[in-house]
Amino acid sequence: MLTLAPVCGPEAPIARANPVAKLAAVVLLTTVALVASDWLTPLLLLAALFLVLPFTGIRPGPLARRLRWLWVAAGAVVVVNAVFAAEQTGRTLVEFGPVEVSTGALLGGVAIGLRVCVAATAGVLVFATTDPTDLADALTQQLKAPARFTIGSLAALRLLPLLAAEWRQITTARRARGLEGGWNPVRRARLFASTMFALLVGAIRRAGRLAAAMDARGFDTEIPRTHAREQRMRPADWAVVALAVAAGAAAVAVSAAAGTFTL
C-alpha cells in the first residue's frame, strides 16, 4: 500500500511527542537562526539538531537521502552570496578576473547557508517523525485550524506517493513503446512536459472526486466534528518546547560570549 508514513520507529521519544510541540520547537529554532546574522548561532543550532538525532529513531541513511538536495541548495546559497556580495570586506581569498571572494563575504554566505540548513534539517526531522493523521488531529483540536482545510491537506499528503507511482508507470509505459528522449535534450524536455501534463490532468480529476466525496460526508458543513483520537499536551511535550527554548538561548549566549552575535 502506498502511504506517506514516518520513517522512524513508533517508540522513539520524538516520534511520540505531540505534533504541535514539535512544530513549536521548529518555529523557535528557525526564528533564532533567521534573526541572528552571524555564522556561529546557526552552527550551534545545527549541532543541537544532530544531538537530538538519536532520540528521533531515524537512521542516518534515510535522513541523508531526504536532506541531500536541501543541503546542495544551501551550498549553492553560500557560493552565490560569497561571489555576488554587495561588498567584499576583509582579506581577499580568491581573485580571478572580475570574480573576487573575501573573508567577510564568505562568512556572510556561510551564515545564510547555515540558516537554510537549520530550517531544512529541523523541518525534515519533524515531518519524518510525525504521522500526517496525528498532525491533522493536533492542528484541528489544539490550534483550532479549520477542519475542511486541514483534512483536505491531509488527503493531499496521502496522495503524494500515488503521484510518484503514476510517474513511474507513465515513464515505464512510454519506454516500453520506444518513446525515450535518449541524449536529445529537446526530446527529453518534450517528454517531461507531456508527462507532467498527464499527471496534472489525473490530479485534477482525482481532486474533484475527492472534494465531492468529502462534501457528501459532511465536511462542507459548520457542524462541529468529533475526533477518534484526542491530542493533548503532556509534560513530555512541554519538555520538547522547553528544550528548544533552552537550545536557542544557549546558542545566542555562546555567540554573544564569543563576540560574533549580531542581528
Distance of alpha carbon 33 from alpha carbon 147, whole angstroms: 32
pLDDT band at 8 (very low <50, low <70, confident <90, very high): low
CB 18 within 8 A of CB 91: no
State the first-to-last Cα distance of the chain, in angstroms, to the nearest integer: 48
Which residue type does 113 have? G
252-262 residue pLDDT tens: 999 899 888 88
Q: So what's the pLDDT on residue 1?
A: 42
pTM, two decimals, is 0.76
Higher-confidence residue: 11 or 114?
114
pLDDT at 172 over 50: yes
Handedness of CA 79, 80, 81, 86 (dihedral sign): positive
204-251 residue pLDDT tens: 888 888 888 877 777 766 677 777 777 888 888 899 999 999 999 999
CB 22 within 8 A of CB 124: no
Q: So what's the pLDDT on residue 210?
A: 81
**Position of cell 555564522?**
39
Torsions phi, psi of 93, nearest 5? Answer: -100, -45
**Could you please report the per-residue DSSP string of 172-214?**
HHHHHTT---TT-HHHHHHHHHHHHHHHHHHHHHHHHHHHHHH
Q: What is the mean pLDDT of residues 120-142?
A: 85
pLDDT at 97 over 80: no
Q: So what's the pLDDT on residue 211?
A: 80
Pairing state between β 99-102 and 92-96: antiparallel
Cβ neighbours around 81 below 10 Å, total: 18
Note the residue count of the chain: 263
- Percentage of the chain surpassing pLDDT 90? 11
